[in-house]
Structure 1
Amino acid sequence: MKNPCWYDDDNNRRKIWMERICSDDKYVDTRRRCKMYSGDRKKNTTLRCLPYFLLIGQPKSGSTSLYSRIMQHPDIISGFLKEPHWWARCRHCRYLQLPYCNSTLLPQSFTEYGDHFSYVAETLHISNKSEKERIVTGEGSQSTLWDHHWWWEYPGNENDKVPRILNAHFIRHILPDVKLLVILRNPVDRLYSDYLFFNKHQQKSVQMFNDKVTHAVHSVNNCLTKNSLRHCAYYKDMSVHVRLQIGLYAVFLKDWMDVFPRKQLLVISLDNFSTNQSVVMSKIFKFLGLRDFGTSETNSEHLNQRSRSNKRIGDMLNETRLMLEKFYKPFNKALSLLMNDTSFLWK
């Protein structure tokens, strides 16, 4: 199989996920799968699978639209959720009291993470040889690339300047051949979209955003006078006002490129995806080693667009944009040099 799968002796897990699949009409061809399951449920082995590819970043950069387009390929089957957030967050829930650990939908143990891909495992289980060689699965947790807040929660790491082990190291250990996708957006626009989208119940305005950005830029610049760039990018207390450091793309990508071979990482810009979707999708499917099935510009509208209430807030103040463009300029230049692509300057 192209997808990383193995056989497990724990058939009870299969019973748990097949009951979920058979009770949910959203899964195609459910009747066939459930009928076959009822006939072989006494088997002692269960097929388990992990993702063939990961869309690892960045939030509010068009990942939902991109993931939707990827899932239109006939040889790709999604897990239960686009973003299980296991590598960067939920795998720590059994040891740490983290804010996202209360969700019953998100997997916490490795076994539960495997359950997340049970539908593709069941599909492969009943597939012929040709289908087994084609079908793959993946997920798109937008915390994987940059979120290492968990590091400082573990005893003994409180005074560390940077994480010594990254999400990339864990993934390389378990999925050494995984394909990694990243979509990036102009960090100025990404930050404003991030501010509007999250914490929906908070009062917001363009002036409030300007004030938060002013504080955040001052905090990061002050941090840089005393610490390394990696410390200021990764340290958990740097996102108190707005998540300014998520836009330090070059820092995170450099660390991933130090762990994974360059050929396993594909980075695209939202601008390019928005204007040349069919070309970008063909490039992605080729990167994933999948057949090009004739992508088109249909269904090209971006998902997760600004809500009506957020549109009423309006665009950020010009002074805010100028402040952010000045702040991000050297980091965008570093990204452009790292990727050897001037489009990441976002002029």
Structure 2
Amino acid sequence: MDYRHGLQNAPFEKLDHCKNKAPSDRWMNASGVPESRRSQHLTSGPWSLTSVWKIKILSFFFALMVTVLIMASYILARDQKGLFLTPSPYHLSVTSHSASLPLNLSSMGDYSALRDLVRRIVAKVDFLGRRVPDLGEVREKEPSIFSAIPRKFLPYLKNPCWYERFFGNITANPYRKNLYTLYSKRFQAIYNHLHRAFPAHLHQRAGRQYRLRCLPFFYIIGQPKCGTTDLYDRLRLHPEVHFTTMKEPHWWTRKRFEVEPPFLVQDFIHALQPDAKIIVMLRDPVESRLYSDYLYFGMTNKTVEDFHERVSESLHIFDGCLAERSIRSCVYNTTLYNLMPVRLQVGLYVLYLCDWLSVFSRDQILILRLEDHAANRKITMRRVFEFLQLGPLTLQKEADITKSPASNTRRPANRNLGPMLPITREILQRFYKPFSQRLAQVLKDPNFLWM
């Protein structure tokens, strides 16, 4: 047999002959070719199918290994959470600007470049109002919400509540599909307790079982690191206030609906609860909120220089977005929100607040400053209790609420970092100034200038 021919060229009888022939003393490979002649077969004639498949398999694994290495190097080189292998729509503009930034933070060139960048951003800012969707559009957008919640509530309760007929098995766990049970052992224990107490809370009427369902009486909508956790912890000490199991259940959330308005969370809340009360807590966006946000969340190797670089990169990203989109589109854009090294847009309070004021009246929204709350908690909490029309407290109970230690404060290790660089502070003050000025005008209160 001429082993220089590949298997594809060999006659069938020769293939049968090779398969049926008794093997020699030397080991033979799967194709019936003696191993001693294998090198001759590979070099002097066409390759066999087995050899071709081996080459293909080796090539596949080599390509896979190269791809994995490229992905790993890309991921390690990036410092952006949640954006692996996802090109940013603003990447080109960010790269071109960042490459020109001097590394010397104290240089006048760095200050001048950032000042020009902020001037360019501020020139693009407008405070145009949005088109508020009518009730029919809101209902059509999320019909499942309005089919589950009635239009009329029980008249004798402060909260919007109603009875919902219960058709399930009374012994079954109604919370078995609640994903918060996977969050921690603490929540598992809470929902296990709710499960055990569930049958006792069912109401019997005419042989049927009903479950009491309620929406919140008020909402706390302050921004991150603005004191909302402390306000929450003090409010829950009032005997007339009962909170949900989760501090932030995220049932109403901007991620539930459009990234770009026309539909916002407040449109749906107002459609269901036109008389709802809203509490807002704000703080200085420069000195307190943004820097505290940077120090609080889990980043390693925090330095004032690193904070400056993150602010600089975020400004370039925001400028790149404004080159293509409106200010409100950039503020509500989830991709941009995840891309920012520091969350500059969270401190643009007036944009969010005006959207809430587009559907709720001013007397339905209580707006507080964290600086005032920290200076005199008793006055702040009395304003909150009066706004919510809560009953009077004993002096001892009021002392328990107002004198307890502040919640969610800065960690000792982060306090040692010291203040931000002067150049960073000045750039941020220039960036936030027009937004704070507009906020003070809307609220008719110069204290929101934070000067």
What is the TM-score when the length of structure 1 is the normalising length?
0.70
Q: Which amino acid aligns with 1:207?
A: E
**Corresponding residue number in structure 2 for 1:321:** 425
**Corresponding residue number in structure 2 for 1:211:** 309
**Corresponding residue number in structure 2 for 1:44:** 209
Q: Which amino acid aligns with 1:341?
A: D
Structural mapping, 1:93-242, within 5 Å: 151-152=258-259, 162-188=260-286, 189-198=288-297, 200-224=298-322, 227-239=325-337, 240=339, 241-242=341-342
Q: Aligned pair in 2 of structure 1 residues 310, 11: CA closer, same or farther (>3 Å)?
A: farther
Q: Aligned pair in 2 of structure 1 residues 26, 323: CA closer, same or farther (>3 Å)?
A: farther
Figure out how many residues of one structure are paired with residues of the other and give that number: 276
Matches of 1:14 and 1:332, distance apart in 2? 54
Q: Deviation per CA, 1:53-96: give whole Å up to 9, x if none.
A: 11012110111111111111110011101111111167x4xxxx
Matches of 1:39 and 1:6, distance apart in 2? 12
The answer to whether structure 1 residue 311 and structure 2 residue 415 are counterparts is yes
Matches of 1:59 and 1:13, distance apart in 2? 41
Following TM superposition, by how much is the alpha carbon of 1:227 offset from its aligned partner in structure 2, in angstroms? 4.1
**Corresponding residue number in structure 1 for 2:84:** none
Q: Aligned pair in 2 of structure 1 residues 316, 323: CA closer, same or farther (>3 Å)?
A: same
Q: Which amino acid aligns with 1:260?
A: F
Structural mapping, 1:77-88, within 5 Å: 77-88=242-253
**Corresponding residue number in structure 2 for 1:247:** 347
Q: Aligned pair in 2 of structure 1 residues 37, 151: CA closer, same or farther (>3 Å)?
A: closer
Matches of 1:17 and 1:317, distance apart in 2? 53
The answer to whether structure 1 residue 6 and structure 2 residue 110 are counterparts is no
Q: Aligned pair in 2 of structure 1 residues 173, 38: CA closer, same or farther (>3 Å)?
A: closer
**Corresponding residue number in structure 2 for 1:283:** 383
8 Å contact from structure 1 (residues 191, 244) kept in 2: yes
8 Å contact from structure 2 (residues 222, 228) kept in 1: yes
Following TM superposition, by how much is the alpha carbon of 1:224 offset from its aligned partner in structure 2, in angstroms? 4.0
Structural mapping, 1:65-76, within 5 Å: 65-76=230-241
Matches of 2:366 and 2:170, distance apart in 1? 34
Q: Aligned pair in 2 of structure 1 residues 38, 340: CA closer, same or farther (>3 Å)?
A: closer
Following TM superposition, by how much is the alpha carbon of 1:215 offset from its aligned partner in structure 2, in angstroms? 1.6
Following TM superposition, by how much is the alpha carbon of 1:266 offset from its aligned partner in structure 2, in angstroms? 0.9
Q: Which amino acid aligns with 1:69?
A: R
**Corresponding residue number in structure 1 for 2:439:** 335
Q: Which amino acid aligns with 2:306?
A: M
Residues 297-306 or 267-276, more deviating: 297-306
Matches of 2:228 and 2:313, distance apart in 1? 28
Match of 1:323, SS?
Answer: helix
Match of 1:151, SS?
Answer: coil
Residues 326-335 or 15-24, more deviating: 15-24
8 Å contact from structure 2 (residues 280, 367) kept in 1: yes
Q: Aligned pair in 2 of structure 1 residues 26, 177: CA closer, same or farther (>3 Å)?
A: farther
Q: Which amino acid aligns with 2:408?
A: N
Matches of 1:26 and 1:275, distance apart in 2? 41
Following TM superposition, by how much is the alpha carbon of 1:26 offset from its aligned partner in structure 2, in angstroms? 12
8 Å contact from structure 1 (residues 55, 181) kept in 2: yes
Following TM superposition, by how much is the alpha carbon of 1:248 offset from its aligned partner in structure 2, in angstroms? 0.5
Matches of 1:232 and 1:224, distance apart in 2? 7
**Corresponding residue number in structure 1 for 2:100:** none
Matches of 1:300 and 1:215, distance apart in 2? 39
Matches of 2:402 and 2:384, distance apart in 1? 17
8 Å contact from structure 1 (residues 286, 292) kept in 2: no
Q: Aligned pair in 2 of structure 1 residues 12, 50: CA closer, same or farther (>3 Å)?
A: farther
RMSD: 3.2
Matches of 1:38 and 1:312, distance apart in 2? 54
Higher Rg: 2
Matches of 2:200 and 2:248, distance apart in 1? 29
Match of 2:406, SS?
Answer: coil
Following TM superposition, by how much is the alpha carbon of 1:284 offset from its aligned partner in structure 2, in angstroms? 1.0
Following TM superposition, by how much is the alpha carbon of 1:34 offset from its aligned partner in structure 2, in angstroms? 7.7
